[in-house]
Amino acid sequence: MNRKHKTYSKPKRPFDKIRIDEEAKIKKEFGLKNKREIWKAEAKITSIRERAKKLISAGPKEQKALFERLKKIGLEVNSIADVLSLNKENYLNRRLQTIVVGKKLTTTIKSARQLIAHKRILVNKKIVDSPSYIVPVELEGKISLKEKKNVKAKEKKNNERKLNQKETIKND
């Protein structure tokens, strides 16, 4: 059985006032649950930058493949310099939670997180219940709210159907 590794690393200085204030601001802006989500985004951007640094000496074909992969998830990059200048805010803007608010499906970032967690958001007609889901550009237009089923109307129809069945049995 494969062990699942950590996808982030904690800050080296745990009580750095400047970093704590900056993370609190980002946490509030993007409606994140905890600082670990910021650290995960940071780790992801760092790994993307590492790949880009390795591709500096590689051919344009490999570089183009990385650029295409990043463009699919919505990060606008055309050169190695663009990849190296990416920051965690660019990555956090591609989360489902942020895009739901951007599309005006909800009014606040917290309500977007709640709708996603309660399985009310559909991406390409499939339920996605992870607010941290990175939305590809091609699926951005296919985000919608789940249709609300009217439970009372269904119960009323079922009751009417049962009454009709009883009446037909009595008449026979």
Q: Looking at the structure, do residues 6 and 79 belong to the same domain, yes or no? A: yes
By residue range, what is the domain housing residue 143?
A: 95-172
The position carrying tokens 């409606």 is 31
pLDDT per residue rounded down to tens, the chain (172 residues) = 888 888 899 999 999 999 999 999 999 999 999 999 999 999 999 999 999 999 998 888 999 999 999 999 999 999 999 999 999 999 999 999 999 999 999 999 999 999 999 999 999 999 999 999 999 999 999 999 998 776 666 676 777 777 777 677 766 6
Q: Looking at the structure, do residues 27 and 81 belong to the same domain, yes or no? A: yes
Q: Looking at the structure, do residues 52 and 74 belong to the same domain, yes or no? A: yes
Q: Looking at the structure, do residues 136 and 77 belong to the same domain, yes or no? A: no
Q: Looking at the structure, do residues 25 and 106 belong to the same domain, yes or no? A: no
For residue 134, what is the DSSP state?
Answer: B
Q: Looking at the structure, do residues 139 and 160 belong to the same domain, yes or no? A: yes
Q: Which residues pair with 143 in a beta bridge?
A: 123
- Name the domain count of the chain: 2
Q: Looking at the structure, do residues 109 and 138 belong to the same domain, yes or no? A: yes
Last residue of a domain, one of 92, 126, 157: 92
CA–CA dist 18, 29 (Å, integer): 17
Phi and psi torsions of 84, nearest 5°? -70, -20
